């Protein structure tokens, strides 16, 4: 790569650009003057609030001096901007995870179970992720600089819980849907934190019921914050599927390969040769084919026990199976017909029903040498492939997804001339099996070269 | 940090700010708006900058956020204002720029930050908020694609 060649690609900054830089530097202090003017306005608002709410003078005086409090301001027709520092002129939403603070929830509706951490909790009925019942979550953030733009808002209410100013917003998903959800932002001034609540339901059609507003109030009332040890929040970015090559954004690599037409298509029954690299970067050759592919029939009674070669170690998602372990054959999704921006428009939606089909496949791998831990060297996934792009969920064709693989929980090893089989299970909705592909991705950790093979199934 | 120090550091970064914004926005006028917003935002948020030696990385991150916001606004309002501004460039520059423009956006951004702006993998990881492995795989892919395009 000739660096000099690249560096000249955009040339030197133009006079206009330089002038813009100088202009900004010249006016740096102008922004500060604007902020000072706002501060005076804030004092008047804070004093008025004190007169109405009759709160103790100390916190109000502090708020008046620092112009620090919880503020809401409408944006467009359906937007509400919630901020703590009314001096903030930042145009971006901003929320930083709070450190050294934990959420203490003393009330939960009957049947709801908690999961999460000190600073982020969610509650679901019976602890079930895919329940039809509404669910709620809480997250705590630093108050300093906090700014969020709530969208799709149809009602805003300012109130107080336990002396903490709280803004509750009611939201609608779209113009032609009756489904609503609630958000609440509570300001814990003494802790320098903001607690954000969300109450929603993912259920569709007749199964949907709005979050119970009386319970919403009880939940907010029954939640407070406490100081704790220095627990810091650390987030991993990027998408990594189960069983994927650790440290790589596998979906991104696959998508990039598709965009750049850098992949191989393998027809049903055909074999392909793939290069894999072990942890030392040494390249080895394997051949791969789909040996067996079948739709499991008798879907009326299909259950976890029916999976081909699944064994007891397989953990299948509750999303696809009901409490009795039977496959959920149909489900409903909300499709957006017209997107709203949530500020000036809500958008339009309709509901669509999908029929689930379950397929199982055996992926046979042959090598002429021993290769250990193959499941950490290659990534097997399932996606839809249509119009030159990969998808897991398409609004017309529904979902294509790999929902289990024997490689998730068992180490896969090849030996000379001794094929090894990985059994996988796929969900394909409606007719989407024609678009379904089992994807095979390998990445050489030393050279960063990747190979993508897409196996057609039908 | 004093205002003078801030000014000096911004001027030192001017070329980087120009190249990064042009690679994303491809329009002189939009770049001028974006850099002004980024500089003013950076000055307001100076308290966020923990160490002075990270100033350039931090300022580029702010600029990328501003550019992304402008691109989203542009796509929402269907403004097609791409002005490649190639008239004043030599043929080699045009060739290289066109090759860069053909890269998928995320790979292009990473290639520019690494090979043109000479940020390290670690710095790019902080600017773009992606894992180190992803930075490396994008660079590898970018190299391959540019090699094909420019050969």
Q: What is the pLDDT of residues A157-193, one digit of tens each?
A: 999 998 899 999 999 988 888 889 999 999 998 888 8
With a pLDDT cut of 70, the percent of chain A lying above it is 76
The contacts of residue B6 (CB under 8 Å, 6+ apart) are A28, B42, B43, B46
Judged by a CB distance cut-off of 8 A, whether residue A281 touches chain B is: no
pLDDT of residue A154: 94
Q: Which run of H or of E encompasses A161?
A: strand A153-161
B102 & B139 share domain: yes
Q: Tell me which chain A residues have a C-beta less than 8 angstroms from the C-beta of B87.
A: none
Residues 6+ apart with CB under 8 A from A438: A290, A361, A363, A380, A381, A382, A402, A424, A426, A454, A455, A457
pLDDT in tens, B1-45: 788 888 989 999 999 999 999 988 888 888 988 999 899 888 888
Please list, residue by residue across A250-266, b when 16 or more beta carbons sit within 10 angstroms of its beta carbon and e when fewer do: bbbbbbbbbbbeebeeb
Same domain, B39 and B95: no
- Co-location of B74 and B3 in the same domain: yes
Q: Would you give the DSSP letter of residue A371?
A: B
Cβ distance B140 to A449 less than 8 Å, yes or no, reads: yes
Helices B14-25, B55-76: inter-axial angle, 10-degree rounding: 20
List, in sequence order, every beta strand (DSSP E) within A30-142: 68-75, 79-85, 101-105, 112-116, 120-125, 135-142
Same domain, B107 and B150: yes
Asked if B97 and A449 come within 8 Å (Cβ–Cβ), the reply is no
Contact yes or no for B106 and A256 at CB 8 A: yes
Q: How far is CA A212 from CA A172, A181, A209, A385, in A?
A: 15, 10, 8, 41
Domain that holds residue B115: 89-151
- Average pLDDT of chain B? 81
pLDDT tens by residue, A280-298: 778 888 999 999 888 877 5
Is the same domain home to B96 and B29?
Answer: no
CA dihedral A445, A388, A251, A319 (to 10 degrees): -150
Query: In this predicted structure, what is the pLDDT of residue A85?
Result: 67
Quick check: B49 pLDDT over 90? no
Identify the helix (H) or strand (E) that includes residue A290: strand A283-295
Query: What pLDDT, in 10s, does the model give residues B111-140?
Result: 889 888 888 888 888 888 787 778 888 888
A315 has a chain B CB within 8 A of its CB: no
Query: Are B45 and A18 in contact (CB < 8 Å)?
Result: no
Shared-domain flag, residues B93 and B24 = no
Model pLDDT, residue A48: 32
User: What's the pLDDT at A136?
Assistant: 93
The answer for A299, left when phi > 0, alpha when psi is -120 to 50, beta otherwise, is alpha
Q: Do A27 and B40 touch (CB under 8 A)?
A: yes
Q: Which residues of A touch B43 (CB under 8 A)?
A: 28, 31
**Taking CB atoms and an 8 Å limit, are A256 and B3 in contact across chains?**
no
**Cβ-Cβ contacts under 8 Å for A161 (sequence gap 6 or more):** A186, A220, A221
B100 alpha carbon, distance to own chain's centre:
13
Do residues B56 and B101 both lie within one domain?
Answer: no
Map out the domains of chain A with their CATH numbers: 14-66 (no CATH), 68-227 (3.40.1000), 250-456 (no CATH)
A27 touches B: beta carbon within 8 Å: yes
Q: Both B12 and B74 in a single domain?
A: yes
Chain B residues within 8 A of A341 when measuring between CB atoms? 76
Nearest to B130 among A8, A237, A447 (CB): A237
B131:A249 CB<8 A: yes
How many structural domains is chain B composed of? 2
> To the nearest 5 percent, what fractions of chain A are helix, strand and coil?
20, 45, 40
The beta-carbon neighbor of A237 closest among B112, B116, B131 is: B131
Residues of chain A with pLDDT under 50: 1, 31-67, 230-244, 310-315
Are the beta carbons of B106 and A252 separated by less than 8 Å?
yes
Residue among B14, B44, B145 minimizing CB distance to A18: B14
Is some CB atom of chain B closer than 8 A to the CB atom of A234?
A: no
User: Which H or E element spans position A404?
Assistant: strand A398-405
Q: Which of B59, B83, B107 corresponds to the end of one domain?
A: B83
Neighboring chain A residues of B7 at a CB cutoff of 8 Å: 25, 28
Q: Which residues of A touch B89 (CB under 8 A)?
A: 11
Helix (H/G/I), strand (E/B), else coil: A259: helix
B7 and B51 inside one domain: yes
Residue B82 reports pLDDT greater than 60: no
Q: Are B44 and B103 part of one and the same domain? A: no
Q: What is the CATH number of the domain that holds B109?
A: 1.10.10.10
d(CA A40, CA A43): 5
- DSSP symbol at A134: -
A83 Ramachandran zone, left/alpha/beta (phi>0; psi -120 to 50) = beta
For residue B76, what is the domain's CATH number?
Answer: 1.10.1740.10
Rounded to two decimals, the ipTM of the complex is 0.79
Q: Which of B14, B104, B78 is nearest to A11 (CA)?
A: B14
- A222: left (phi > 0), else alpha (psi -120 to 50), else beta? alpha
For residues B94 and B79, state if they share a domain: no
Of B49, B1, B63, residue with least CA distance to A92: B63
| Cβ–Cβ gap B141/A21 under 8 Å | no
Do B59 and B1 share a structural domain?
yes
Single out the residue in B58, B83, B108 at which a domain terminates: B83
B83, B111, B138: which is the final residue of a domain?
B83
Where in A189-282 does DSSP place strands (E)? 193-200, 223-227, 264-266, 271-277
């Amino acid at each position: 790569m000739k660096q000099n060649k690249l560096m000249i690609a955009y040339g030197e900054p133009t006079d206009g650009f330089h002038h813009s830089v100088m202009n900004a530097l010249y006016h740096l202090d102008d922004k500060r003057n604007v902020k000072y003017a706002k501060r005076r306005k804030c004092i008047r608002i804070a004093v008025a609030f004190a007169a109405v709410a009759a709160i103790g003078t100390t916190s109000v005086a502090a708020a008046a001096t620092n112009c620090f409090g919880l503020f809401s301001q409408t944006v467009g027709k359906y937007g509400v901007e919630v901020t703590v520092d009314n001096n903030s002129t930042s145009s971006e939403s901003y929320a930083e995870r709070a450190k050294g603070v934990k959420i203490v929830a003393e009330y939960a509706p009957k049947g709801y179970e908690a999961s999460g951490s000190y600073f982020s909790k969610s509650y679901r009925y019976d602890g079930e992720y895919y329940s039809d019942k509404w669910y709620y979550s809480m997250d705590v953030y630093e108050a300093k600089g906090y700014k969020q733009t709530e969208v799709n808002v149809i009602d805003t209410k300012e109130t107080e819980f336990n002396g903490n100013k709280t803004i509750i917003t009611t939201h609608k998903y779209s113009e032609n849907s009756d489904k609503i959800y609630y958000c609440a932002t509570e300001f814990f001034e003494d802790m320098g934190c903001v607690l954000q609540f969300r109450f929603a339901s993912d259920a569709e059609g007749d199964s949907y019921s709005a979050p119970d507003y009386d319970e919403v109030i009880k939940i907010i009332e029954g939640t407070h914050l406490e100081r704790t040890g220095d627990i810091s929040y650390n987030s991993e970015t990027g998408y990594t599927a189960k069983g994927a090559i650790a440290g790589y954004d596998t979906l991104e690599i696959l998508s990039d390969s598709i965009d750049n037409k850098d992949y191989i298509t393998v027809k049903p029954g055909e074999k392909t040769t793939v290069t894999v690299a072990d942890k030392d970067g040494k390249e080895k050759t394997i051949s791969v084919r789909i040996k067996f592919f079948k739709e499991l029939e008798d879907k009326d009674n299909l259950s976890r026990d029916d999976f081909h070669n699944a064994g007891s170690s397989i953990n299948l998602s509750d999303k696809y199976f009901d409490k009795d372990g039977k496959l959920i054959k149909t489900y409903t999704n909300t499709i957006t017909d017209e997107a709203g921006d949530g500020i000036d428009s809500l958008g339009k939606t309709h509901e669509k029903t999908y029929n689930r089909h379950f397929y199982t496949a055996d992926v046979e791998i042959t090598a002429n040498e021993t290769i250990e831990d193959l499941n950490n060297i290659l990534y097997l996934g399932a996606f839809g492939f249509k119009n030159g792009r990969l998808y897991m969920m398409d609004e017309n064709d529904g979902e294509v997804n790999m929902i289990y693989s024997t490689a998730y929980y068992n180490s896969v090893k090849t030996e000379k001339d001794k094929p090894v089989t990985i059994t996988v299970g796929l969900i394909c909705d409606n007719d989407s099996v024609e678009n379904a592909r089992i994807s095979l991705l390998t990445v050489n950790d030393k050279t960063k070269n990747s190979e993508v093979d897409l196996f057609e199934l039908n | 940090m004093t205002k003078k120090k801030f000014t000096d550091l911004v001027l030192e970064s001017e070329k980087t700010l120009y190249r990064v914004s042009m690679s994303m926005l491809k329009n002189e006028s939009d770049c001028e708006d974006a850099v002004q917003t980024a500089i003013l935002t950076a000055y307001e948020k100076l308290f966020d900058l923990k160490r002075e030696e990270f100033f350039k990385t931090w300022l580029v991150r702010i600029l990328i956020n501003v550019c992304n916001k402008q691109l989203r606004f542009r796509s929402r309002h269907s403004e097609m204002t791409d002005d490649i501004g190639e008239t004043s460039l030599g043929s080699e520059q045009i060739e290289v720029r066109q090759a860069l423009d053909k890269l998928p956006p995320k790979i292009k951004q990473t290639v520019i930050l690494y090979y043109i702006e000479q940020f390290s993998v670690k710095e790019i990881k902080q600017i773009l908020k992606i894992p180190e492995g992803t930075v490396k795989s994008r660079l590898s892919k970018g190299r391959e694609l540019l090699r094909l395009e420019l050969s």
